[in-house]
Structure 1
Amino acid sequence: MQWLQDTAFIINYYLKRAHWLSLDVVAGAVITHIIASRLPDGHGKVSWASTLLVGIAVFMIYVVDRLLDNRKSDHSPTPRHDFHVKNEPLLIKILLGLGLISLVLLFWVPSKVLWFGFGLASLVGLYLWFAFRISAKHTAQVFKEPLVAIVYTAGIWGPAILTETTLAWESPVLMGLYGLLAFQNLLLFSWFESLELDEGFSLAIAWGTETVSSVLNWLLGLIIVGALAVIIFTTYRYCVRAAIVVVVMSGCMHVLKRSSAKVLPDERYRPLGDGIFLISLWLL
């Protein structure tokens, strides 16, 4: 039985570090981009260059954000941030390498997607600079969750929609649903954090735990209504499957919220919440 314990320890060791590096978030972003590219019938062309760039961009944004967090004087360290501190020299080398790879991949990206990416990258860079420069006591921190949800959704869905020869109405609708799902995810994390902290500057702390709980319920309702509209009116089976997956993911986050007593210790809600996006594997 000792080998089972050793195997479980090794698996848990690497899974935890993969989560600290947000590789589960990267996987969810890549899967979602592939799904968006295949809409509406499931046979849309998937650009391998754009897919790789999406994964690289998400990874780089998360790593850079945490490296910048570690330089804030009022920052409260977490195991995730401590991991980035210990491995900062290696992470910087990885970021530089991925940056060079990204420059090479740009040669295979359509010009309109390229300009869209530059605009979005400028917005992200401005946000990271602004978040690093200002103090956490400024009210601008309150808008982090919706802004990140918008940028995340635009970065994943934008290239896919721009390259569609004929834009079906289901694509922007599902994009909106995924945007609501991303906001639900970020707001849920903020809600969990507000249960642990009585001070800080997140949306949940600013609005109050009960208000955010109500907003999360409304988000679930909006996602269900929007998904039902797609299921009822679309003529594409792939869009029906995509809408069902969105509802399942949103429902899982609602269950996670209702199980707060079990998932709050040791921030168990984080890998579970990020892992919910892997449910989309069913659509590949």
Structure 2
Amino acid sequence: MLTPLRNAYYLSFPVVLGAVLSNRMAVRLSDVVPVHWATPIVLALVVWMIYTIDRLLDVQKAAPASSTRLLTPRHAFHRQHATDLWRGILAAALLVLVLCFFLPGSVIRFGLVLGAVCVGYVFIVFRLPTRHSALLLKEPLVAVLFSAGVWGSVWVQRPTVSGVELTESLMFMAIAFQNLVLFSVMEQWENPAQPPFSLATAWGIDRCMTLLGWLTLGVVLTGLTLCFITSDRFAQRAALMLAIMSLVLYVIQRFPAYFLRNERYRWLGDGVFWLPALVL
């Protein structure tokens, strides 16, 4: 009964929807002119393509088909449906190409630069050995690229960017980084014998837990401060929502045993990026 929902989760649809909703919050924070209607569609397609390609290359690099049982359920799904997923990526890329004819020039130029960086990142990750030290940059780099797509696609359509917008984008980036480090920690608890190479395996769980606590504190204090220094009511609500998003991730961190069951941490951890819908 839960198969369609689980398949949507394996296909990264929660992340895609979270990117679109977060992008809509960024739009509301900066209302000089309307943001082009194709922007969120292209953003959704590109986020889905990047996440899907990354996982398809992971399973291609990981091991032969006979060792599918060693893969995570999400990666096993991508290996099983690899042909259909590559076709879906091709169709999504063609649709993005068509939509580019409708987008403003500033968004196209921004997308080309960001897209080139993402392609370079995926290529380098695929070529590097499994435990290369450069792979420790994956969590911060993905957080930066994800945040750049959500916020940058709006800013390039604006004449100016306010300090409040910039601050809230940095809060969002910290939350994206918090999400990725938390997932690394949970994956190590989930599979202590053979965890994926990440900041959690390199730094240790205790140091990562400390980092997660400081990220939460920084986001929450910044959000509360913004409520006092800006008179923009929506900016205040957005700042509080970003603080709540960080606190939700902190709750997962505090109760790992509960959230490790049935990968609850992934469902809720990705679901935090839906929370901006509550202030739209």
Q: TM-score range by the shorter chain?
A: over 0.9
**Paired residue for 2:171?**
177
Cα deviation, 1:22-80, whole Å, max 9, x if unaligned, reads: 10000000011111112146x86232211111100110001101110111145951111
1:65 to 49, 54, 57: 54
Residues 169-248 of structure 1: pairs in structure 2 closer than 5 A: 169-196=163-190, 197-199=192-194, 200-248=196-244
8 A Cα contact 1:227 1:244, kept in partner? yes
Cα deviation, 1:248-283, whole Å, max 9, x if unaligned, reads: 111111111111011113322111110111111112
Given the alignment of the two structures, is residue 271 of structure 1 paired with residue 271 of structure 2, yes or no?
no
Identify which range, 248-257 or 158-167, moves more after superposition.
158-167
State the Cα distance separating 1:101 from its structure 2 match.
Answer: 0.7
State the Cα distance separating 1:245 from its structure 2 match.
Answer: 0.5
Rounded Cα–Cα distance in structure 2 between residues aligned with 1:40 and 1:56: 23
Question: What SS is found at the alignment partner of 2:197?
Answer: coil
> CA separation of 1:73/1:191 partners in 2, compared to 1, >3 Å: closer, same or farther?
closer
**Paired residue for 1:256?**
252
1:118 to 104, 109, 112: 112
State the Cα distance separating 1:229 from its structure 2 match.
Answer: 2.1
Letter in 2 for 1:247: A
Rounded Cα–Cα distance in structure 2 between residues aligned with 1:73 and 1:31: 33
Rounded Cα–Cα distance in structure 2 between residues aligned with 1:44 and 1:207: 45
8 A Cα contact 2:107 2:153, kept in partner? yes
Q: Give TM-score scaled by structure 1 length.
A: 0.92
Given the alignment of the two structures, is residue 164 of structure 1 paired with residue 153 of structure 2, yes or no?
no
2:74 to 70, 80, 84: 80
Question: What SS is found at the alignment partner of 1:71?
Answer: helix
Given the alignment of the two structures, is residue 53 of structure 1 paired with residue 42 of structure 2, yes or no?
yes
Question: What SS is found at the alignment partner of 1:108?
Answer: coil
Letter in 2 for 1:79: P
**Paired residue for 2:67?**
none
8 A Cα contact 1:38 1:45, kept in partner? no
Cα deviation, 1:90-110, whole Å, max 9, x if unaligned, reads: 111111111111011111222
* Identical residues among aligned pairs (%): 37
**Paired residue for 1:17?**
7
Given the alignment of the two structures, is residue 138 of structure 1 paired with residue 117 of structure 2, yes or no?
no
**Paired residue for 1:149?**
143
Rounded Cα–Cα distance in structure 1 between residues aligned with 2:41 and 2:115: 15
8 A Cα contact 2:36 2:104, kept in partner? no
Rounded Cα–Cα distance in structure 2 between residues aligned with 1:24 and 1:262: 21
Aligned length: 273
Cα deviation, 1:203-260, whole Å, max 9, x if unaligned, reads: 0111110000000000001101211221111121000110011011111111111110
Rounded Cα–Cα distance in structure 1 between residues aligned with 2:218 and 2:79: 40
Letter in 2 for 1:20: Y
Letter in 1 for 2:164: E
**Paired residue for 2:103?**
109
State the Cα distance separating 1:16 from its structure 2 match.
Answer: 0.8
Rounded Cα–Cα distance in structure 2 between residues aligned with 1:198 and 1:123: 33
Question: What SS is found at the alignment partner of 1:252?
Answer: helix
Question: What SS is found at the alignment partner of 1:235?
Answer: coil
Q: Any unmatched runs of 5+ in structure 1?
A: 1-8
> CA separation of 1:44/1:245 partners in 2, compared to 1, >3 Å: closer, same or farther?
farther
